[in-house]
Structure 1
Amino acid sequence: MEYAQIEIYTDGGCSGNPGPGGWAYVLRADGVFEKEASGGSKATTNNRMELTAVIEALKACLSYNPKKVIINTDSQYVRNGITSWIAKWRTNGWRTASKEPVKNKEYWVALDTLNQQLPVTYNWVKGHAGIELNERCDSLVRNEMDAILRG
């Protein structure tokens, strides 16, 4: 099936940084179909979880054959990284402007690969601002972290 537009909200977080973390996304296809997914890791960072949420969401999009994908993230790190910084990182051999290795390179490479396969636009949304699907993602992330902390 083909969709005109898929809109996705993503979130990631950690209890401590590093520490137990969770990621989540909520996906709407043509404003109707909704899918959500989440997961976690015992030892991770906030940035890794934010990246994982977007990576997993885009993987899910591949089977929908969308004409347009909109990612809504409350992470400036993710939005700026994929829309501004990544081209220079690739050119510089995955090094920052200060010649340091890019942190979380394997996540950025995975995201870059998916980004090139789909027509993606990235929007930043303010976290904890009452945006329904962003709040849902935040709740899913907290559930994942709580599950890890409970053991």
Structure 2
Amino acid sequence: MGNTKGYYHPRARTSAPKTPQVVYTDGMALRNGQADASGGVGIYFGPEDSRNISEPLKGTCQTNQRAGLEAIKRAIESTPRNIPLQVLTDSRYAVGGLSDWGDRWESNGWTNSRGQPVANKDLFKEIGGLVKERTAPTTFEHVYAHRGSHGNQQAGNLARRGA
């Protein structure tokens, strides 16, 4: 089920290929939640694709959620703006923030439903800005982890290798 509504999903403004570029993204952190956590970013476009990425998460905040958002950001940056893009991830947090909650967060001054600052606001805003710059649609879709999706498994392997 693709999510195509919301602040982060502008309508296409120019003609572009109708078939979207599909990319699987994943992020993970070894020892997530610990002071010595080590995150990794995985992006899988396809077999032997030069755009596939496996690298460590940069910065001091090393969490699964941050690594997953960084992977999505890098996938968008790796895709021409006029090509429709379908981002598949096993992060409900990322899909929710980019599809359902982003408008609300922004209108509430980037606070969540509990009135607390939105975690990873900087990455949500960066990704939102990248999507707004695109001239073709960008969709975010949740896929279940460990349920046989080859692309999701490959993105997960790349993220683990990066961590």
TM-score, normalised via structure 1 length: 0.84
Cα deviation for residue 41 of structure 1 reads 3.0
Cα distance change, pair 17–89 in 1 and its aligned pair in 2 (3 A): same
- Residue aligning to 1:101: 117
Partner of 1:90: 106
- The CA distance in 2 between the partners of 1:98 and 1:116, in whole Å, is 27
Match for residue 14 of structure 1? 29
Among 65, 72, 89, the alignment partner of 1:73 is 89
Structure number with the higher strand fraction is 1
Cα distance in 2, alignment partners of residues 123 and 41 from structure 1: 22
State the identity %. 28
> What secondary structure is seen at the aligned counterpart in 1 of 2:154?
helix
- Measured after TM superposition, the shift of residue 55 of structure 1 is 0.3
- Structure with the higher helix share, 1 or 2: 1
Shift of 1:64: 5.8
Task: In structure 2, give the amino acid aligned to 1:65.
Answer: N
Aligned residues: 139
Instruction: Give runs of ≥4 in structure 1 deviating > 4 Å.
Output: none
| Residue 137 of structure 2 corresponds to residue 122 of structure 1 | no
Tell me the amino acid that sits aligned with residue 56 of structure 1: R
Which of the pair has the greater relative contact order for Cα pairs under 8 Å at 6+ separation? 2
- Give TM-score scaled by structure 2 length: 0.78
Q: CA deviation at 1:72?
A: 0.5
Shift of 1:45: 0.5
Other structure's SS at 1:55 match:
helix
Output the CA distance in 2 between the equivalents of 1:87 and 1:38. Answer: 31
Structure 1 position 65, deviation (Å): 2.6
Point out where structure 2 has 5 or more consecutive residues left out of the alignment. 1-15
Unaligned runs of at least 5 residues, structure 1:
146-151
- More divergent stretch after superposition (111-120 vs 7-16): 111-120
